[in-house]
């Protein structure tokens, strides 16, 4: 579903400019200077309206978060949530995921979250999926051996595609669940989509993919 244009989006973005990073390429390798600490950095690709990233940042003040979305009219809502909560350990970028290597250095990102990414259901659209080999190759340029990608979706076909994709690209799969909300997994933070799906009783698929491709 296409997001409706938000009224006064540019002005609303500017009001949250302390958390909106307009020139992320300038911070490649020095994000800890921006956060003014040496805490680990986690990123969410496709943060949507920000429910997950804001709650996660609030729960984990000793971790720094960078949330990324390509749609300004979506990101502004996340920015406003974070600003209202006075969160100092989260920043936001308007960008496409294929630009990640322009923004982050190797081993600067300790964990990646992919929550309810667009499944791009047609086979000819597979290369646009955030768990396609093309994107995993980008993540591998950032992640050190042992770093994690945490992936959640309501789409069974995308989950099965992702299982194969991760396995083929030197990721070790762990904590796999086919029904997250009826599993023993603790500490789950829901996104807006997930809240809606949970109310409908739909299963949520989740996995963690640990990168094992690099050797010390």
Active site residues: 118
Answer for the pair 167, 208: CB distance below 8 angstroms, yes or no: no
Q: Spell out where 97-163 has E strands.
A: 111-115, 148-153
Q: Do the beta carbons of residue 40 and residue 104 sit within 8 Å?
A: no
CA atoms within 13 A on the CB side of 72: 15
Distance from C-alpha of 97 to C-alpha of 116, rounded to nearest angstrom: 15
> Which letter does DSSP use for residue 182 in this model?
G
Strands 64-69 and 90-94 turn out to be: parallel
Cα–Cα distance, 209 to 126 (Å, whole number)? 19
């Amino acid at each position: 579903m296409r997001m409706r244009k938000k009224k006064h989006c540019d002005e609303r973005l500017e009001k949250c400019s302390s958390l909106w990073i307009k020139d992320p390429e300038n911070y490649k390798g020095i994000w800890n200077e921006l956060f003014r600490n040496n805490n680990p950095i986690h990123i969410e690709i496709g943060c949507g309206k920000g429910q997950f990233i804001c709650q996660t940042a609030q729960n984990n003040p000793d971790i720094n978060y960078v949330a990324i979305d390509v749609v300004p009219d979506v990101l502004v809502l996340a920015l406003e949530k974070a600003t209202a909560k006075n969160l100092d350990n989260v920043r936001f970028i308007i960008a496409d995921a294929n630009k990640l290597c322009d923004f982050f250095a190797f081993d600067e990102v300790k964990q990646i979250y992919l929550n309810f990414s667009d499944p791009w259901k047609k086979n000819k659209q597979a290369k646009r999926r955030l768990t396609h080999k093309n994107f995993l190759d980008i993540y591998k340029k950032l992640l050190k051996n042992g770093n994690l990608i945490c992936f959640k979706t309501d789409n069974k076909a995308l989950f099965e595609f992702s299982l194969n994709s991760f396995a083929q690209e030197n990721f070790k799969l762990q904590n796999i669940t086919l029904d997250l909300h009826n599993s023993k997994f603790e500490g789950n933070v829901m996104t807006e989509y997930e809240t809606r799906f949970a109310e409908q009783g739909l299963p949520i698929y989740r996995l963690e993919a640990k990168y094992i491709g690099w050797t010390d």
